[in-house]
Amino acid sequence: MKAVIQRVSKASVTIDNKIVASISYGLLVLLGISDEDTQEDIEWLSKKIANLRIFGDENGVMNKSILDRDGNAIVVSQFTLHANTKKGNRPSYIKAAKPEIAIPLYEAFVEKFQQDLGKVVQTGEFGADMKVELLNDGPVTIIIDTKNKEY
């Protein structure tokens, strides 16, 4: 799994001119799923994101997690995170999981992330044409690939 985590002052997801998700202070997580991803990736990534210390403390130092700040989150599926751009100018998405594999893993990630945060996590709609709007706070943007994890 690949995730792009952005600390936001606000974020929203719109589908067909209707806002389907909206948060104030928290995290926007763009999630790409590959055929190789497993439940172990879900568990590790969810815990890692929930505990990432990328929010400011009382001294303005990034020393607090979303849990510490009681922030909210939106998770949006994004197969394009698995784009291969090595050859030519048209990206290949061959590493991105097909919907029959990706949807259950995406839903399992959202469920696990909700458990780790102890609150409802808003989402986009898998496979939909979404408009994602955000005000990146910092800016703080972190990229995590579970294939590069260390214990």
Catalytic residue of the set 79, 109, 123, 146 = 79
Note if 80 is an active site residue: yes
109 belongs to the catalytic site: no
Catalytic pick among 78, 122, 123, 146 = 78
Entry pTM: 0.95
Confidence category of residue 149, pLDDT binned at 50, 70, 90: confident
Class of domain 2-145: alpha beta
Distance between CA atoms of 69 and 88, rounded to whole angstroms?
A: 44
**Known catalytic residue at 79:** yes
Domain boundaries, the chain: 2-145
Report in angstroms the alpha-carbon separations of 94 from 12, 72, 77.
29, 32, 16
For the cut 60, the answer to whether the pLDDT of residue 151 exceeds it is no
pLDDT per residue as tens digits for the range 12-21: 999 999 999 9
Could you give phi then psi for residue 120, rounded to 5 degrees?
A: -70, 135
